[in-house]
Chains A and B, each alone.
Chain A
Amino acid sequence: MTKYLYYPGCSLETNARAYYISLMAICEPLGLDLEEIHDWNCCGATEYVGISLTPAYALISRNLALAAKQANGTRTVVAPCSACYLNLAKADYYMRESPKLGEKVNKALAAGDLHYTPGSLDVRHLLDVIVHDVGLDAVRRAVVRPLSGLRVAPYLGCMVPRPDYEHRWSNPEYPNELDQVLKALGAEVIDFPLKTHCCGGHMTQIGPPVAYELIRRLIHAASEYQADLMATLCPMCQLNIDAYQGEMNHFFGTYYHMPILFFTQLMGLAFGKEPQELGIGKELVDSRLALARIGVEVPEAEAAPAPRRPRKAKEGLPMPRMPEEKELIR
């Protein structure tokens, strides 16, 4: 068992509980010993930095300070959430790049009897740890139920491969680490061109049409490649593609059905765990049909919300209408 300091982040306690549950289930087969940072706080997501700089970096750095204090035998912090990973990594990097920022943050931390020396911890993403520390061979050895025949679109989103301050990924725009893990599970992995494109992030809350278009591009591409489901490592991506897929369909009058699971859930399935142990069934876009292809039966989800139908007008037969001025050929 290799020990790591673990920063779960708010999403894993709420909307991405499936990520948390499945990660806990695969720790043992992977030999990961995750020690949660005691009394961690929110990383501020993409919101706090847009309001005020010093408080935002102090908020992030409280977690780094707590982790450094708790560190016994390890100096690696693992975060499974993209935004958390980026914020922790970014704060550490910028405080090294600009010592003035580090001083200011430490003055603030002193008000809570804390201190953090920039550069004293390694902030890493869960996928990085699985690929580079655990290794693909160990993943392959743990597989007892290969996901053969399941077509998976690997989807990383933005904030794990980019900006990549420490050059940990094979490529910031087209990395293949997630593909390799899913292949090691025996899945049929499609070469997904939009694997690091944006899901819209918080735009679902601010300017929904902007987000719907970005969500549509991703789901459309995955469907064109005949993926059975998408696999992600980001709670925000999962939430946008899963929970806003219905509204996106409603907005464009489309009928896409593209389930999205966390890659840890697929790892759990390949390691022989049962769907209930992995939080499968918590997704709003049903994945049962997709999982039936590999012989996994998922019990009926509780109270599935009725999908909203697109507007009537778009379902009806085409009606004659007068051409508009610009359509006339003169």
Chain B
Amino acid sequence: MFATTLETDHHTLPPLPTPPVADLRLLEEVAAATAGVSRLEMCIQCGTCGGSCPSSADMDHTPRQLFAMVRAGMRDEVLRSNTPWICVSCYHCVVRCPQGVHIADVMYTLKSMAIRVKLYADSTAPDFSQTFVDLVENYGRSFEFGLATRHYLKHFPLRLPGMAPKGLGMITRGRMDLTPHRIEGIDKFKAILARAKELEAAS
């Protein structure tokens, strides 16, 4: 009698869940887009990276978690994570990683991948990088006054009045130029970057 009940139960069980769609090429893609040899495949999930990180408390995922997610092909979650944007490039994890994973460079790769598909929760960091780079591409040198004013107007307008005395202090001490410095070979410089961008788009 028991046997029949069990058989009936078996027929009424819900179907097995379908596994989430995994993007198994993600790991390969991240590794290939990283400078040098990333060694990301070598990660043994020991957690030394997260334990060494000075800013992990502010991260959505520790580097270890993020790398597990890369392996699991969780593309959207990985690219939406704030972790690469909170990474301060201190290289503590890099020198401690027993597998020699180029963790900081993987973080740079994830940033550029998130920018490409515009998957980031907060635009402050990508905008800052982009403004910095725009100025560098224009002049060949960084231009801090332009960077500070543009960035603060867009993202921290309320911090501006409080910054004024400091900005003045920097200017009067000769630590901030009000005009940019343009390099001499700017045309060839721009040609190099244009060619590099074509090569990047083709890869």
Chain A interface residues (CB < 8 Å from chain B): 10, 13-18, 39-42, 44-55, 57-59, 62, 90, 93-94, 97-98, 101, 104-105, 107-114, 158-159, 162-164, 172-173, 197-198, 200-203, 205-208, 210, 214, 243, 246-247, 250, 281-282, 284, 301-306, 308
Contacts and interface: CB of A to CB of B under 8 A. Distances in A.
Contact of B112 (A42, A50, A281): A50
Contact of A112 (B86, B124, B192): B192
Given A54-B200, A198-B88, A59 B162 contact: no
Leading 9 A-B pairs by shortest Cβ distance? A94-B36, A162-B91, A305-B165, A112-B188, A111-B195, A108-B196, A58-B196, A50-B111, A198-B90
A284 B125 CA distance: 26
Interface stretch (B3-11, B14-22, B62-70, B133-141): B133-141
B25 interface: no
B192 A58 contact: yes
A141 B37 CA distance: 45
Contact of B191 (A90, A111, A202): A111
A206 B136 contact: no
Interface centre among B35, B124, B165 (most CB of A within 10 A): B35
B172 A107 contact: no
Contacts of A202: 88, 128
Given A51-B112, A206-B85, 12 more contacts: A41-B136, A47-B133, A49-B35, A51-B111, A93-B36, A158-B88, A158-B89, A159-B91, A162-B94, A197-B54, A247-B166, A282-B175
Given A107-B195, A112-B192, A305-B166, A201 B36 contact: no
Contacts of B84: 50
B142 A98 contact: no
A104 B174 contact: no
A265 to B, nearest CB: 14
B144 A15 contact: yes
A44 B136 contact: yes
B24 interface: no
Interface centre among B92, B133, B181 (most CB of A within 10 A): B133
A53 B129 contact: no
Contact of A303 (B88, B130, B168, B185): B168
B44 interface: no
Given A14-B144, A14-B176, A163 B170 contact: no
B28 interface: no
Contact of A41 (B33, B88, B92, B189): B189
B160 interface: no
Given A198-B54, A198-B88, A305-B168, A113 B174 contact: no
24 contacts: A17-B175, A40-B183, A42-B142, A53-B35, A53-B108, A55-B193, A57-B35, A94-B36, A97-B36, A97-B37, A108-B196, A158-B88, A158-B89, A162-B94, A198-B55, A198-B90, A202-B128, A205-B151, A206-B125, A207-B124, A243-B170, A282-B173, A282-B174, A305-B165
Given A51-B115, A93-B36, A111-B195, A15 B129 contact: no
The binding surface of chain B is classed by DSSP as helix
Nearest to B33: A53
Contact of A162 (B58, B95, B107): B95
B150 to A, nearest CB: 11
A270 to B, nearest CB: 23
B197 interface: yes
Interface string B47-59: 0000000110010
A214 B54 contact: yes
B178 to A, nearest CB: 11
A101 B58 contact: no
Interface in B93-128: 94-95, 104-105, 107-109, 111-112, 115, 124-125, 128
Given A162-B91, A303-B168, A303-B169, A54 B162 contact: no
Given A50-B112, A284-B166, A112 B185 contact: yes
Contacts of A305: 165-166, 168-169
Contacts of B129: 47-48, 50-51
A101 B33 CA distance: 10
Given A42-B141, A159-B89, A205-B151, A104 B203 contact: yes
Nearest to A108: B196
B98 to A, nearest CB: 14
B177 interface: yes
Contacts of B105: 49
Contacts of B162: 247, 250, 308
